[in-house]
A and B are shown apart, each in its own frame.
Chain A
Amino acid sequence: MSDLDLLYSDVEDDLRSSVRNVLADHCDPAAVTAVYDGDRSGLDGLWKALAVDLGLAGLLVPEDRGGAGASAREAAVVLEELGRAAAPVPFLTSSVVATVLLLAAQTDLLPRLAAGTSTASLLVPLSTVPDGPLPSIRVGAGGRLTGTITSVAGALEADVLLVPVRTAAGIAVYAVDTAVAGVVPVVSLDMTRQLADVTLADAAGELVLGDAEHAIRRALEAGAALLASEQLGVARWCLDTTVAFLKERRQFGRALGGFQALKHRLADLYTGVESMNAAARHAAAALAAGDLDLPVATAVAQAYCSDLAVTAAEEAVQLHGGIGMTWEYPVHLYLKRAKADQIAFGTPDTHRARLGALIGLDS
């Protein structure tokens, strides 16, 4: 456990502003809200601009395998910005989780993901804990796959599903073309990361990785570690927007932000968000460094950031007053994302229980 660098490098700051510029052009809050009504037309070109034009899809892929050879620290910065915009893109599911899994395999799928010409999703429920039970699909004669997995994130955007399959030797991963799978969209709490129930019925699959359990858990661990940065982005948006609103909004002849009861709540929220920043940065740095402390760093970041992001979004709704309850004002996008993120990759209590075993604090 060394003192990891918890700040941002100049390169990371540059990356942040590039991502923010693309989101400003392609990810208008009204267009994001429209996805709740099934209209994605306002987001045309968003994923291509991020994945291909900025090259974010290949961020975690080494250069000799067709990627940018960056680290989890940069991916975390991207996720902060995506969280800040509640952007409906499959970066976390495809460019982090599926990509980290495929780094362990020899497959031409990886360069395709890196190039952004293909998008993949690991076929597990979004709520799967990195060290929890792994659901798996059955494999029949001739490598045909059968079974149903519910509440999968990123499946709707994917053209390839990475399917955990239980074999005599353990858990293997097969690649399945989404065209041969039954992908049923779920009306989701967070439609900016819409889930799907996926059914495979005697579907053809290609073996990608034989003894894959370790790689699957590493991929989920990376997803959980970096989700904290997305949660940080969500919380920062909520804090910044609420502070700006309360400076403008006048009642009783003065700016609402001058009332001490509200100032103190915002001061507490700021303190919490600064703490999230340290926890999320630490998890990203531990992942980037391959630090042995990663499971503790991840569990701490998830246990803390999951709740704080929800608090930030709930405070944002409350402190905006009536407008915070409207469909038109974007704060609800962040509330829904924060609440769904709290459950994603394991709820905070799951991570605290995990931590108890890791640090020797038994019940």
Chain B
Amino acid sequence: MNDDLPEELHRRVERFLAAHDPATTERLTWLRARFDAGLAWVSFPAGLGGLGLPQALQAEVDGLFDDAGAPDNRKKANGIGLGMAAPTILRFGTDAQKQRFLRPLWTGEEIWCQLFSEPGAGSDLAAVATRAVRDGDTWVVSGQKVWTSGAHHARFAILLARTNPDVPKHGGLTYFLCDMTDPGVDVRPLRQITGEAEFNEVFLTDVSIPDSHRLGAEGAGWKVANATLNNERVAIGGRAALRESGMIGEVVDTWRTNPQRRTPELHARLLGLWVEAEVARLTGQRLRQKLALGQPGPEGATMKLTFARLNQQLSGLELELLGEDGLRYSDWSMTRPDKVDMTGRDAGYRYLRARGNSIEGGTSEILRNIIAERLLGLPAEPRVDKDIPWKELPR
């Protein structure tokens, strides 16, 4: 990396702030201007919100804007858009798709969700049964998706659908960008163990998608989806973080503010988990340094595995630490939150929500398969359905 780069970037941010005062500029106008100045995601190419710089510089840019009181681009509400849809569109999209979708995605004007999992295709994602049938320049899509976070406020979705049932399952998939306002899209809340409905079921009935919203080649959906999933695992497990941020931060706060609850046994467990959380933070930092210039590979699976386990252990410890207070829960009523927040609400919510961390975005069991097969080169699981046309598979 050029040593002058951070300094030059710093000056560029200051010039931008001088010309666009966050205090006096209308929110969206300001965000669009930041995107157009290449200061949105600096690793993206010029003209698409970036400057083609190393990803490692992003945190610094975000920090400078945060310090200046810059408006938020709805990061928490648009995690799927920013962390998964955007890098996939950047990699596989046509110029027209990149121009159309990336700016409103980054500014938060258009929130994205993910239509991948189905009742019959969870860990076996390549088994998706949602059908897309070509009709001239459009595709007609019907099927049922599930565990769709944020579908109730999403404008677009990344969608995996079956376009060819006559070939084995991996080869018959195509990846689409789906307009969630199409009249054939029916979003219904799916209530979770926390009481709220952060997820949805999404029923697709003759949804019409123009062929210009197909991402990647017909039949290449599995490859495109894997790029998304690799980004998802990095997004879930690999955020830049300060020491004691995230779940460990909640637990140490509880420890520090409840001296009456302390026991030697809880202290030993807390210190053990503090060490693991700190090592996980460093591992994420090291992974980001490695990936600074490249595409995320399966290495992100290790971070996601660790993140899930630690969140579960930490949130469980926190309830014990709270003792009698750990018996209380804030609110079981059905609400539809507009963002996913693992450390939000109270300790009971965190404990229940963290159970999902080892299921969403690839179960920990599937991730261990991926690590064993793709990183360690161990033999693949037997695949009895590998050479059978999808339509002939028993269901």
Contacts and interface: CB of A to CB of B under 8 A. Distances in A.
A274 B306 CA distance: 11
Contact of B286 (A1, A6, A271, A360): A6
B275 A254 contact: no
B52 to A, nearest CB: 21
B278 A247 contact: no
Given A6-B289, A257-B379, A274-B302, A266 B272 contact: no
B73 to A, nearest CB: 24
Nearest to B270: A361
Interface string A231-258: 0000000000001001100000011011
Given A257-B379, A258-B378, A267-B376, A361 B252 contact: yes
A88 B267 CA distance: 38
B28 interface: no
Contact of A352 (B275, B305, B373, B377): B275
Interface in A202-246: 243, 246
B271 A353 contact: yes
Given A267-B368, A275-B280, A361-B274, A258 B379 contact: yes
A30 interface: no
Nearest to B282: A278
A254 B289 CA distance: 38
Contact of B285 (A257, A268, A276, A278): A278
Contact of A363 (B264, B290, B367): B264
A263 B286 contact: no
B100 interface: no
Given A304-B275, A352-B271, A263 B282 contact: no
Interface residues of A, number: 40
B268 A278 contact: no
B276 interface: yes
Contact of A264 (B282, B283, B368): B368
Interface string A328-363: 000000000000000000000100110110011101
Contacts of A39: none
A360 B377 CA distance: 43
Q: Which of B262, B271, B306, B380 has the most CB of A within 10 A?
A: B271
Given A353-B271, A361-B270, A363-B262, A263 B378 contact: yes
Given A258-B379, A263-B372, A267-B368, A361 B271 contact: yes
B320 interface: no
A361 B259 CA distance: 10
A279 interface: yes
Contacts of B376: 243, 263, 266-267, 270
Contacts of B264: 363
A291 interface: no
Contacts of B299: 274
A363 B369 contact: no
B308 to A, nearest CB: 11
Interface in B349-389: 365, 367-369, 371-373, 375-381
B10 interface: no
Contacts of A247: 377-379
B interface residue count range (under 10 / 10 to 19 / 20 to 34 / 35 or more): 35 or more
Interface string A28-57: 000000000000000000000000000000
Nearest to A254: B379
A179 interface: no
Interface in B99-137: none
A300 B271 contact: no
Contacts of A16: none
A270 B243 contact: no
Interface string B232-261: 000000000001000000001001100000
Contacts of A254: 379
Contacts of A84: none
A276 B256 CA distance: 28
B334 interface: no
Given A266-B376, A275-B306, A281-B286, A355 B274 contact: yes
A264 B376 CA distance: 11
A163 B116 CA distance: 67
Contacts of A268: 305, 368
A110 to B, nearest CB: 33
A352 B268 contact: yes
Contacts of A281: 282, 286
B193 interface: no
A355 B280 CA distance: 16
A264 B365 contact: yes
B279 interface: yes
B58 to A, nearest CB: 12
A1 B369 contact: no
B243 A1 contact: yes
A270 B375 contact: yes
Nearest to A279: B279
Interface in A1-21: 1, 3, 5-7
A268 B369 CA distance: 10
B282 A279 contact: yes
A257 B283 contact: no
A267 B294 CA distance: 23
A274 B283 contact: yes
A117 to B, nearest CB: 38
Contacts of B367: 267
A9 to B, nearest CB: 12
B208 to A, nearest CB: 42
A6 B281 CA distance: 12
B369 to A, nearest CB: 7
Contact of B283 (A267, A275, A356, A360): A275
A7 B302 contact: no
Nearest to A354: B271
A267 B372 contact: yes
Nearest to A4: B285
Contact of B289 (A5, A264, A279, A352): A5
Interface of A: 1, 3, 5-7, 243, 246-247, 254-255, 257-258, 260, 263-264, 266-268, 270-271, 274-279, 281-282, 300, 303-304, 349, 352-353, 355-356, 359-361, 363
17 contacts: A6-B289, A7-B289, A7-B290, A243-B377, A260-B381, A264-B372, A267-B376, A270-B372, A274-B283, A275-B279, A275-B280, A275-B282, A275-B283, A275-B302, A277-B286, A279-B282, A361-B255
Interface of B: 243, 252, 255-256, 262, 264, 267-268, 270-272, 274-276, 278-280, 282-283, 285-286, 289-290, 299, 302, 305-306, 365, 367-369, 371-373, 375-381
Given A276-B279, A361-B252, 4 more contacts: A247-B377, A264-B372, A270-B372, A270-B375
- Top 3 closest A-B pairs, CB basis? A258-B379, A263-B372, A267-B371
